[in-house]
Amino acid sequence: MDKFQQYVNANQDRFIAELQDFCRQPSVAAQNWGMSEMADKVLARLQKLGARAQIIPVADGAPVVYAEIGEGKRTLVIYDHYDVQPPEPLELWESGPWDAAIRDGKLFARGVADNKGNLMCRIQAVEAYRATLGALPLKIKFVVEGEEEIGSIHLPQFVKENRALLEGADGCLWEAGYKDVNERPVISCGVKGIAYVELHARGANRDLHSANAAIVVNPAWRLTWALATLKDADDNILVDDFMKHVRAPTDAEMDALETIPYDEDKVKADLGIKSFIRNLTGIELLKKYLYEPTCTICGLYSGYIGEGSKTVLPNHAFAKIDFRLVPDLSPDLVVDLLKKHLARRGFADIEVVLTETGEEVARSPLDSAVVRAAIEAAKRVYPQAPVVYPTMAGSGPMYPLCQQLGIPAVGAGVGWHDSRSHAPNESVRLADYFEGIEFIRELIDQFAR
Amino acid sequence: MDKFQQYVNANQDRFIAELQDFCRQPSVAAQNWGMSEMADKVLARLQKLGARAQIIPVADGAPVVYAEIGEGKRTLVIYDHYDVQPPEPLELWESGPWDAAIRDGKLFARGVADNKGNLMCRIQAVEAYRATLGALPLKIKFVVEGEEEIGSIHLPQFVKENRALLEGADGCLWEAGYKDVNERPVISCGVKGIAYVELHARGANRDLHSANAAIVVNPAWRLTWALATLKDADDNILVDDFMKHVRAPTDAEMDALETIPYDEDKVKADLGIKSFIRNLTGIELLKKYLYEPTCTICGLYSGYIGEGSKTVLPNHAFAKIDFRLVPDLSPDLVVDLLKKHLARRGFADIEVVLTETGEEVARSPLDSAVVRAAIEAAKRVYPQAPVVYPTMAGSGPMYPLCQQLGIPAVGAGVGWHDSRSHAPNESVRLADYFEGIEFIRELIDQFAR
């Protein structure tokens, strides 16, 4: 055990307590809950680290916490976010989402995997590095935003206003990563885009007794019929012209899938499903997972949803829908196609609202220095060899923060295959967390070379 | 002004206070909230009236309050219910649902129109009759149940166990009635049947990050696709074989529609709609309204429905659906057809739950004595001539309580066209309420002849 590891071991209890402190502060961007308190906590921790840290306001948005530390030939941007998803449904949590309770070697909290665990792990790794190995061999720039879970709506504006802070960086460590069902660390080199919309259907000027349903329009039915035109039961997206904009993966992109050992049986057992959509397996499954767009009902509401029965004809129905995008789809294009599609089918009465500005697709070259450094660091730290995903199935602001500035980005982090991001009982395993600290130390050394 | 009217005038404040007292007691059968307290209140008021009143328990259900008063050649059953619909959505009420606030000559409360206003009005009318006109000229049997809003699930059992109390009655005054948009009192002679079901679709064993939606089943989509097979956008019910069981109205039934002056423009303006379903008008509109079945989404839920966005792949979705039935559809038949329909289309995974036992269709002869008495009483009391509906568009336990025992039933009551039964800001107009007391006095005299 070297000095770095000894330091981490000696400070283990404090490190966990600091992570709990982050997790006990609610910071739900969608509900504007606890945002400035959380930004202050991040600022204070980065200042304690010895970084030149500041809160950079963004007009009408949650501020960005920005910090610089170290000097060297190369510059590494570390991107994280201090906001989290809403904790609902609360009744499904075994311990409170803000309790940060520890059970069976895991810390349970909303946001611990996505993304407070990674943020704190990276800060503590830098602390341990400087305390035991000396000055950092590169410059690190922390960019910690507060709106990732609502589509990073103001991050493009932040980049526009602070371009000089980011330009010329050599690589970016993206916010997250996890171990797959076979404990292999997953490294990812891109994100899908996203367009999150609400569809609203409206009926009479008030809820009515359902006896009126024989002759008065029911918005819950209108919404159902409209939704059913968007995707068929074989999971084909039917929005007019949508699939025309999907660029087929290149041979190189398809080859990259061959290197991913995806344990389908374990994933299915873990999720409690008998098969994947369309009974897909192998390369076709990975292709759909990583290279195809989605159209997902994330929320659906109309009328009475309490216990028992209420014979009501509702006057409002809505759906929340998330489209995950691949090249060459963009958020604005999708909203435009969706509106035209609905109007063409007689659903012009259904209001389409883009609830966020959306996010563009981004992918980094697999042979860029930061990707190679992450792979090498993972090989040195983890018992299992890393798996490299050309893109995540998820989204994030990689385009405005990195790709448009020519900065390659790579995702790696302390999650595990059952971290339950965005769902009740989100967790990280503490063993993964401390391995993650070791990974950051190796990444620093590898990338500084 | 005769003695009866003088008595009612003199007691007006107390009568309103008694109605408020009923309305301030929550009694939501679907939520099992305040049921025994409300039954006790009804019992006490009937005892105060001088009736031989008792609470008759029903195994596993809310008890029936039963009372007898008066003697005569004829026996009139008065059917009401002391339960009400759930008050949600609470935020749309201008005054609390249990406040029984009076504004602009109206009393606002959950259940005041459906059905506590009618119940109290009838009790007070009998009180005034006996106080001013002498002994009742007929026997009245009050049957006040507590499960009407959840499908009268135990009333058939009550009738089975207490058949002797009801058999031989000459007619029944049904729970409700209202004035239409042109202030004409509506008298109705039947009910549609009802089957209220829940459809549940399930996915993975937990909610997931929506990035997984490319390959993991989404129950919100499964439910949407299944629902879309039940009814088309032109409002045709597509459940296999469903419409085959709908008996065409007889010539006499169609003729009865000709006598209904339905003011379509006023109804549309009142509801804030531009047209009725299929742009129907005239006899075709009334035919669909009264003689055709419905399939209505009353509630719809999946995933995240709070503010802002949550990118979640839900693991559960459900719909609450109410089918209103006409001859020869029955609840059990509908559930059976629905299950077969879904299974045939690959939706056997969607669970179908009949949330109540359902209710059968019932219609009374238009020339029965109790119908004729109600029409005559209405003509004497109301400025406008009554409108006779061969059936309501709504439902109720008229089959088990009346039709199977050969007792004709007629509906009339103190609602108005904007009473908002089952919806926020339910109300009765106090002027209608006191006219209703006069109507009951006339009905007693007409039916006792």
Q: d(Cα A382, Cα A376) in Å, to the nearest integer?
A: 10
Q: Looking up tokens 């007629």, which residue turns up?
A: B410
pLDDT value at residue B394: 86
User: In chain B, whose CA is at the least distance from the CA of A392?
Assistant: B211
Of B211, B324, B423, the CB nearest to A312: B423
With beta carbons less than 8 A apart as the criterion, state whether B361 and B401 touch.
Answer: no
**Domain final residue, candidates B310, B337, B354:** B354
pLDDT, tens only, A99-128: 999 999 999 999 999 999 999 999 999 999
Indicate which CATH number applies to the domain containing B296: 3.30.70.360
Does the structure show a pLDDT above 90 at A261? no
Closest by alpha carbon to B302, among B312, B313, B317, B315?
Answer: B317
Considering the domain architecture, whether residues A350 and A409 belong to the same structural domain is answered as no
8 Å CB contact of B224 and A221: no
B420 in a structural domain: yes
Q: Using an 8 Å Cβ cutoff, are B277 and A203 in contact? A: no
Question: Would you say residue A259 lies in a domain?
Answer: no
pLDDT score, position A17: 98
Q: What is the pLDDT of residues A194-206, one digit of tens each?
A: 999 999 999 999 9
The number of distinct structural domains making up chain A is: 2
- If phi > 0 it is left, if psi is from -120 to 50 it is alpha, else beta; for residue A240 that is beta
Instruction: Give the C-alpha distances (Å, rounded to integers) separating B163 from A226, A258, B61, B73, B358.
Output: 50, 75, 18, 20, 20
- Mutation for testing the A interface, residue in B197, B311, B359, B389 having most A CBs under 10 Å: B311
Domain holding B367, by residue range, is: 3-192+361-448
Instruction: Give which of A159, A38, A144 is closest to A402, Cα–Cα.
Output: A159
Q: By the 8 A CB rule, do B297 and B320 touch?
A: yes
Tell whether B252 is covered by a domain.
no
Token reading at B63 = 């008890």
From the list A306, A313, A424, the residue facing B296 with the nearest CB is A313
Cβ atoms of B103 and B95 within 8 Å: the answer is yes
pLDDT category of residue B151 using cuts at 50, 70 and 90: confident
- Pair (A307, A443) in one structural domain: no
pLDDT of residue B261: 87
Identify whether A275 is part of a domain.
no
Q: Which of A110, A194, A221, A236 to mutate to test the interface with B (most CBs of B within 10 A)?
A: A221
The dihedral sign for the CA sequence B404, B406, B412, B417: positive
Name the closest residue on chain B to residue A235, using Cα atoms.
Answer: B214
Residue A356 has pLDDT above 80, yes or no: no
In Å, how far is A139's CA from the nearest CA of chain B? 33
Instruction: Write down the mean pLDDT value for chain A.
Output: 96
Q: Is residue B258 part of a domain?
A: no
| Distance, CA of B297 to CA of B226 (rounded, Å) | 13
The answer to whether A309 contacts B31, with C-beta atoms less than 8 Å apart, is no
Nearest to B285 among A215, A273, A290 (CB): A215
The residue among B181 and B279 whose pLDDT is bigger is B279
Say whether both B161 and B27 belong to one domain: yes
Mean pLDDT of A243-260: 92
Nearest residue to A427 via CA among A107, A17, A101: A107
Q: Dump pLDDT digits (tens) for B79-94.
A: 999 999 999 989 999 9
pLDDT at B206 over 80: yes
pLDDT of residue A358: 86
Contact A398, A166 (CB under 8 A): no
Q: What is the count of residue pairs from A and B with beta carbons less than 8 Å apart?
A: 320
A263: left (phi over 0), alpha (psi -120 to 50) or beta: beta
A163-220 tens-digit pLDDT: 999 999 999 999 999 999 889 999 999 999 999 999 999 999 999 999 999 999 999 9
Which H helix or E strand runs over B324?
strand B316-325
The verdict on A67 and A114 lying in the same domain is yes
How far apart are alpha carbons B370 and B365 in whole angstroms? 10
Q: Rounded to an integer, what distance in angstroms lies between the CA atom of residue B365 and that of residue B396?
A: 17
Band (B101; pLDDT cuts 50, 70, 90): very high
Same domain flag for B146 and B62:
yes
Q: Strands (DSSP E) along B147-249, which ranges? A: 171-174, 186-188, 190-191, 193-202, 208-209
A357 pLDDT exceeds 80? no
| pLDDT value of residue B333 | 96
Residue A394: the pLDDT is 86
Residues B346 and B396 in one domain: no
For residue A309, name the pLDDT band (cuts at 50, 70, 90).
Answer: confident
DSSP per-residue letters across A144-165: EES-GGGT-TTHHHHHHHTHHH
Cis peptide before B328 (omega within 30 of 0): yes
Residues A338, A426 share a domain:
no
**CB pair distance less than 8 Å for B320 and A298:** no
- Return the CATH number at A424: 3.40.630.10
- Position B449 scores a pLDDT of 87
A98 and A216 inside one domain: no
Residue B262 lies in a domain: no
A316 Ramachandran zone, left/alpha/beta (phi>0; psi -120 to 50): beta
Q: What is the pLDDT of residue B234?
A: 95
Number of residues that make up chain B: 449
Among B30, B86, B272, the residue with its CB nearest the CB of A204 is B272
Kindly state whether residues B187 and B242 are assigned to the same domain.
Answer: no
Domain end position, chosen among B329, B354, B379 = B354
- Residue pair A44/A67 in contact (Cβ under 8 Å)? The answer is no
Say what percent of chain A tops pLDDT 90. 92
Read off the tokens for A235.
């999971």
Could you tell me the pLDDT band of residue A238, with boundaries at 50, 70 and 90?
Answer: very high
Tell me how far CA of residue B355 lies from CA of A212, B151, B196, in angstroms: 21, 9, 6
Closest-approach residue (CA) in chain A for B391: A211
Positive/negative CA dihedral, B113, B119, B123, B129: positive
> Is B320:B299 a contact under the CB 8 Å cutoff?
yes
Q: Which of A30, A307, A423 lies at the smallest CB-CB distance from B206? A: A423
* Domain end point (choices A354, A374, A392): A354
- The reported pLDDT for the residue numbered A115 is 96
CB B298 to CB A311 under 8 A? yes
Q: What is the pLDDT of residue B307?
A: 85
Which of A243, A292, A297, A357 is the best mutation test for B, with the most CBs of B within 10 A? A297
Whether B268 is in a domain gets the answer no
**Contact criterion met (CB < 8 Å) for B301 and A304:** no
Q: Would you say residue A437 has pLDDT above 90? A: yes
Residues of B in contact with A424 (CB under 8 A): 206-207
Peptide bond into B57 cis (omega under 30): no
Claim to verify: residue B421 and residue B370 sit in the same structural domain: yes
List alpha helices for A314-409, DSSP H: 331-344, 369-381, 398-401
Q: Do the domain assignments include residue A346? A: yes
Same-domain check for residues B429 and B442: yes
Q: What is the mean pLDDT of residues B311-317?
A: 95
pLDDT of residue B400: 96
Mean pLDDT, all residues of chain B: 96
My answer on whether B242 and B173 are in the same domain is no
